[in-house]
């Protein structure tokens, strides 16, 4: 502190002595009145010591400026700044002593101001040593006042804590008083309720007494009336005796009428006998009609099979996939594919000298091959065809499976041409349902309707895939060795899980389980390309106890893996191996169909697992439908032409007459 004062006094100038002293007082004199701390807690000895030291320094650094600038009448204003809400009545005597200290401090400040004014008026230089000694005395005195003030604040804090505990105790007592008051009020209410209840019971007893008196008077009146009625009844008895005599004579006439009614009843019994005879005749006629209905069902099956044979036991449907946003066809048209008829379409091949985005329809033909190709199939479905329209053509083959024939339906085409959508469809239970969900729905509906004709069916389902010439069970546990065998003219797969299904929902659950396990990978042709052949097998065994007929049909629903050229697929590593196996199995499928068409002595079923599995569904005892799916993309035209050429060869085949399976 002493080191700071010389530096301050050395800068004083005589003309502004009073102003400098005032500024010094503002900077050096600590502020006495401080605000009450907002947070109060019990103080320990260390806390008290720390609080005294820190508050002393804080007050010493701030308080003089307020005292130096205060007016002579600022005593009351200074005192009023103290937080009155924290002062308790019982601490008033304690607070009055710091107030006297404040008054003394204010007087000292006034003296400093008066000295400053006197020096300024007289123009006499103040002696720095005298001022410094006085300032030291003032600061010492202020330090003592600050210490006392801190002690008083601690006392106030203790009193505040006592007050709070007393307030809490008071609140507890007030709560107890309130509870007792509520109990008193409740007792008063109960007393009033009992009083009201007693008054009500008294009024009820009075009403009951009055009611009993009224009943007594009414009973006396009734007794009087009954005596009068008794006299009247006696007179009536005399009259009834006379009436009995009259009725005796009338009964003779009634007996005569009864005899007439008995004769009529006998006549009606005769009529009932005749009605029973008519009913027996009608029952016999119904049985005869049911027999004829069963015979007609058998005839219907024969005629249905004849119609299917006339259409061909191997048929080919062509479907052009609908345009999707990823195709990036702004016009919504497919310029290189033109459906000429419901059985034919035309393909305009790109000019080899043009880019893939250019259309060759208006380009002159070059010497590198024809610019257009025309293909004919059993049905051609354009990009706007719905799943229902396609299933209407397919449903006749599903009926053949119920009639006891082996039926194979498979989708063929390049990757991304819509095979899986055609077979499985989109969201379950919507218009986009594929051929598999719709076929299952038709099978269970037909089984229900055939019950009235005596047919009862047992349906068994299995689902597998052929991946890299290895069979994987999509319904059972992974792993296991699976072999294809022919037992009793039926193709079976060893260790394959087969489940009996009784409703459509169970089949949908099987499809969902199988879909989660199917092998899928990414190629340049399709980001989600199926890399395996999936085969759903439904065995339909029917028995008719009335006619002793049986049927054993098998329906194969096959979603073939996408065909794609190695150069265009960009496959490498494992994808390259997969593509080779896929193309080899599809090539062997074509060879088997060609061998069946030319009636060769040896059919190469064993060249691939796919043809070996489907041998019972491809030969002369089966009906086969092939979907050739083509993409609307212009850059896929070469693969489209290859798929259509293969399908055209299959469509030209005739594999013979289908034979019904009987047990």
Question: Is 553 marked as a binding-site residue?
Answer: no
Q: Are strands 549-559 and 533-544 parallel, antiparallel or unpaired?
A: antiparallel
In this structure, the number of other CB atoms found within 10 A of the CB of residue 136 comes to: 13
- Cβ atoms of 377 and 368 within 8 Å: the answer is no
418 is in an annotated binding site: yes
Residue 494 known to bind ligand: no
Cβ partners under 8 Å of residue 663, min gap 6: 541, 550, 552
Mutual angle of helices 92-122 and 128-311, in 10-degree steps = 120
List for the chain the helix, strand, coil content (%; round to 5).
Answer: 60, 15, 25
Annotated binding residue 414: yes
Do residues 618 and 656 make contact, with C-beta atoms less than 8 angstroms apart? no
Q: Is the distance from CB of 616 to CB of 406 less than 8 angstroms?
A: yes
Was 419 annotated as part of a binding site? yes
| Strand duo 549-559 + 622-630: pairing | unpaired
- ∠ CA 400-403-408, nearest 5°, is 35
Q: What is the β-pairing status of strands 490-493 and 622-630?
A: unpaired
Which pair of tokens denotes residue 155? 């006392």
Beta strands in 199-295 (DSSP E): none
Q: SS in 3 state form for 577-589?
A: HHHHHHHHHHHHH
Which CA distances in Å does 306 have to 346, 399, 400, 408, 651? 32, 13, 11, 18, 19
Q: Is 114 a known ligand-binding residue?
A: no
Q: Any binding-site annotation on 562?
A: no
Say if CB 459 and CB 540 are below 8 A apart.
yes
Name residue 349's beta-bridge partners. Answer: none
Q: Using CA atoms of 595, 599, 600, 601 in order, give the dihedral in degrees to the nearest 10.
A: 130
Nearest to 472 by CA among 516, 414, 408: 516
Q: Is 423 exposed, middle or buried (0-12, 13-18, 19+ CB in 10 A)?
A: buried
Residues marked as binding? 413-420
Residues marked as binding for ATP? 413-420
């Amino acid at each position: 502190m002493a080191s700071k004062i010389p530096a301050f006094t050395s800068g004083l100038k005589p003309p502004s002595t009073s102003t400098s002293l005032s500024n010094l007082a503002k900077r050096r004199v600590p502020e006495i009145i401080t605000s009450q701390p907002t947070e109060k807690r019990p103080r320990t000895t260390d806390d008290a010591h720390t609080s005294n030291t820190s508050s002393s320094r804080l007050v010493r650094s701030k308080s003089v400026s307020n005292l130096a600038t205060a007016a002579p009448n600022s005593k009351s204003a200074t005192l009023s700044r103290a937080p009155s809400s924290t002062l308790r009545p019982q601490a008033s005597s304690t607070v009055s002593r710091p107030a006297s200290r404040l008054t003394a401090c204010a007087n000292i400040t006034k003296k400093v101001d008066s000295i400053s004014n006197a020096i300024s008026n007289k123009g006499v230089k103040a002696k720095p040593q005298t001022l410094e000694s006085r300032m030291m005395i003032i600061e010492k005195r202020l330090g003592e006042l600050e210490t006392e003030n801190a002690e008083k604040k601690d006392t106030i804090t203790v009193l505040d804590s006592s007050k709070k505990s007393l307030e809490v105790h008071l609140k507890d007592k007030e709560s107890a008083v309130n509870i007792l008051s509520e109990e008193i009020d409740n007792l008063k209410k109960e007393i009033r309720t009992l009083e009201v209840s007693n008054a009500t019971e008294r009024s009820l007893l009075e009403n009951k007494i009055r009611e009993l008196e009224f009943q007594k008077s009414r009973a006396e009146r009734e007794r009087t009336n009954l005596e009068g009625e008794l006299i009247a009844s006696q007179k009536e008895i005399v009259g009834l005796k006379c009436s009995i005599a009259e009725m005796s004579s009338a009964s003779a006439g009634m007996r005569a009428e009864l005899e007439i009614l008995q004769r009529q009843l006998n006549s009606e019994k005769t009529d009932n006998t005749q009605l029973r005879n008519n009913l027996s005749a009608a029952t016999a006629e119904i049985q005869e009609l049911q027999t004829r209905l069963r015979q007609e069902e058998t005839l219907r099956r024969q005629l249905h099979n004849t119609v299917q044979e006339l259409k061909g036991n191997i048929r080919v449907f062509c479907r052009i996939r609908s345009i999707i946003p990823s195709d990036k066809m702004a016009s919504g048209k497919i310029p290189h594919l033109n459906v000429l008829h419901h059985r034919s379409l035309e393909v305009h091949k790109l000019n080899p000298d043009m880019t893939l985005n250019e259309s060759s329809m208006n380009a002159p033909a070059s010497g590198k091959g024809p610019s257009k190709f025309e293909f004919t199939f059993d049905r051609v479905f354009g990009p706007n065809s719905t799943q229902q329209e396609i299933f209407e053509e397919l449903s006749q083959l599903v009926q053949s499976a119920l009639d006891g024939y082996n039926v194979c339906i498979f989708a063929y085409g390049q990757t991304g041409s819509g095979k899986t959508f055609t077979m499985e469809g989109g969201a379950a239970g919507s218009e986009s349902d594929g051929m598999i969900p719709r076929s299952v729905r038709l099978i269970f509906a037909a089984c229900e309707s055939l019950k009235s004709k005596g047919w009862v069916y047992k349906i068994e389902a299995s689902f597998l895939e052929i991946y890299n010439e290895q069979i994987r069970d999509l319904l059972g546990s992974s792993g296991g060795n699976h072999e294809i065998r022919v037992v009793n003219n039926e193709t079976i797969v060893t260790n394959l899980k087969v489940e009996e299904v009784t409703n459509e929902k169970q089949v949908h659950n099987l499809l969902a389980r199988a879909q989660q396990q199917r092998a899928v990978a990414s190629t340049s042709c399709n980001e989600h390309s199926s890399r395996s052949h999936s085969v759903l097998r439904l065995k339909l065994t029917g028995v008719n106890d009335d006619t002793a007929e049986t049927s054993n049909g098998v329906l194969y629903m096959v979603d073939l893996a996408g065909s794609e050229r190695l150069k265009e697929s960009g496959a490498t590593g494992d994808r390259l191996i997969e593509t080779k196996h896929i193309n080899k199995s599809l090539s062997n499928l074509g060879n088997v169909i060609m061998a069946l068409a030319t009636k060769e002595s040896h059919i190469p079923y064993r060249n691939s697992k796919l043809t070996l599995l489907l041998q019972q569904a491809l030969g002369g005892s089966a009906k086969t439908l092939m979907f050739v799916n083509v993409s609307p993309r212009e850059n896929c035209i070469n693969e489209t032409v290859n798929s259509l050429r293969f399908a055209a060869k299959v469509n030209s085949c005739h594999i013979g007459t289908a034979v019904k399976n009987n047990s």
